[in-house]
Structure 1
């Protein structure tokens, strides 16, 4: 099998278009079309239904597409491993992290790691915990920080952080003088909250479902500075990890009743090859992070 042609086929199937695949691969469309046609001829199968300007996968094409991603990822992993055996390290730590941890938890860890390994480079991707888990499973990320709950079987995960989710209010809010806030009281307030896909939103949705209350979400945003500003000005309250607001004198954080704790893990694919740089970062984090 021509693995280059298999890669072209995979992108055409993924993007649903020879034109878009050619643009993504930075190739001329006829070159992509001819390579896929040769692949079909070598397999003696039709992989696409071609209807004027539209295409769709045949049954055989669907089966090959399911396997192609795994094959191509395995090839990339093998190439990286062989390079490192020859002493040609990639030298890049690729980490996907939720925005709050990327802003408040990881900077000192990354700086300490860089002090120990000054020649390694970091590539940090910000996203929701669910999005990061999906990217990790697809091989689009090497490492990601995900929730400890419901880790899939194909993912290896180690807990690195246990943090309390806190009610966040302005100084003059009635909740500011309480020692704790029942979930039901919180859900009946005007809320500014993260969008779907972020662990904060998942916590809120779970709280609302268990309480049987429709939350009053006034603003959805993933921008932490905006959330803090909205809360400070009294337009809504929120729930955040304590690390994001503990040093802000204009905000008060209060525990839920009962307290809500969140466990987060650093994770990677069990069947993927972890480069020396990524493995070094995992080892460093696990050696230097204490989970109480």
Structure 2
């Protein structure tokens, strides 16, 4: 058994297709098939069901999957830690941040972090919180910003911000003159909303479950800047984190009654070595919030 076989196994297990796995790995498909076949021979087990071009993990494959992931995680951690023991002065932070808050909360954090640690590079991936959580679990991201209250057991989380969710309306809308708006009033309006995968959407729909009411969604997008534009032109109203609309003079931010708040957290994978660069960023973020 070698590392290459484990990497191939994990890629096939993720995409459930040998050809797509080969494309992602940038190698020929027969090489992937041969490596997996050899791994199965060495284990004397069948790891994948192969029927009518459909690939799925066998019961044995499901059991082997977390072991393979852990081996690769441990190998990556060993390489990082040994590099640091050799006096490595360079490092990279790979973090996922939802687009809505990356544009309004993190620019100053990123600027100040790079001034404090000019030897470290920072790579930011803009995805929804749900997708970020998944990528951390798969080891494709070191850390990320997630939202909510419940998380898989394999994630370590630290809350750094609680932000209010507000109704966003144009200045000529009746709600703009109100101090607050109820859920019932809000969902009777035409809504411009976020697509699946964005936690603010899932959070709000969960809140509505207890009411038995359904929102009137007239348009969905994953572009929060487009949501703002459609609110401005009267297509519908929407919800935002307060920080995102507080500086917009042509939009009004109105609280819900009762108020709604969203917890934002920095997360990384449990029991996986967190590099010096990533530890530095997490500590820096939490310290900045504490000082503010």
The two structures have a TM-score, normalised by structure 1, of 0.92
Within-5 A mapping of 1:77-226:
77-88=77-88, 91-226=91-226
Q: Quote the residue 1:4 is aligned against.
A: 4
Q: Distance in 2 between matches of 1:225 and 1:90?
A: 35
Q: Give the 3 Å change call, closer, same or farther, for CA 55–193 of structure 1 in structure 2.
A: closer
Q: Distance in 1 between matches of 2:217 and 2:89?
A: 47
The two structures have a TM-score, normalised by structure 2, of 0.92
- Deviation, 1:51, is 4.7
Q: Distance in 1 between matches of 2:231 and 2:52?
A: 54
Q: Distance in 1 between matches of 2:284 and 2:134?
A: 24
Q: Distance in 2 between matches of 1:263 and 1:130?
A: 14
Partner-residue secondary structure (3-state), 1:211: coil
Partner-residue secondary structure (3-state), 2:71: helix
Partner-residue secondary structure (3-state), 2:290: coil
Q: Give the 3 Å change call, closer, same or farther, for CA 225–54 of structure 1 in structure 2.
A: closer
Q: Distance in 1 between matches of 2:95 and 2:18?
A: 31
Count matched residues: 292
Alpha-carbon contact 2:92-2:123 (below 8 Å) kept: yes
Alpha-carbon contact 1:9-1:36 (below 8 Å) kept: yes
Alpha-carbon contact 1:143-1:268 (below 8 Å) kept: yes
Deviations 1:206-242, CA, capped at 9 Å, x for gaps: 2321222110111111212211111111110011011
Q: Quick check: 185-194 or 79-88, which moved more?
A: 79-88
Alpha-carbon contact 1:19-1:29 (below 8 Å) kept: yes
Q: Distance in 1 between matches of 2:6 and 2:61?
A: 11
Q: Give the 3 Å change call, closer, same or farther, for CA 219–50 of structure 1 in structure 2.
A: closer
Question: Cα RMSD over matched residues?
Answer: 2.1
Deviations 1:115-154, CA, capped at 9 Å, x for gaps: 1111211111111112211222222211111124113332
Alpha-carbon contact 1:157-1:266 (below 8 Å) kept: yes
Within-5 A mapping of 1:34-45:
34-45=34-45
Q: Distance in 1 between matches of 2:51 and 2:213?
A: 49
Q: Distance in 1 between matches of 2:14 and 2:225?
A: 36
Q: Quote the residue 1:30 is aligned against.
A: 30
In structure 1, stretches of 5+ residues that fail to align are: none
Q: Distance in 2 between matches of 1:137 and 1:184?
A: 37
Partner-residue secondary structure (3-state), 2:81: helix
Alpha-carbon contact 1:92-1:277 (below 8 Å) kept: yes
Q: Quote the residue 1:231 is aligned against.
A: 231
Q: Quick check: 45-54 or 243-252, which moved more?
A: 45-54
Alpha-carbon contact 1:157-1:267 (below 8 Å) kept: yes
Q: Give the 3 Å change call, closer, same or farther, for CA 14–267 of structure 1 in structure 2.
A: closer
Partner-residue secondary structure (3-state), 2:140: coil
Q: Distance in 1 between matches of 2:266 and 2:233?
A: 35
Q: Give the 3 Å change call, closer, same or farther, for CA 26–245 of structure 1 in structure 2.
A: same
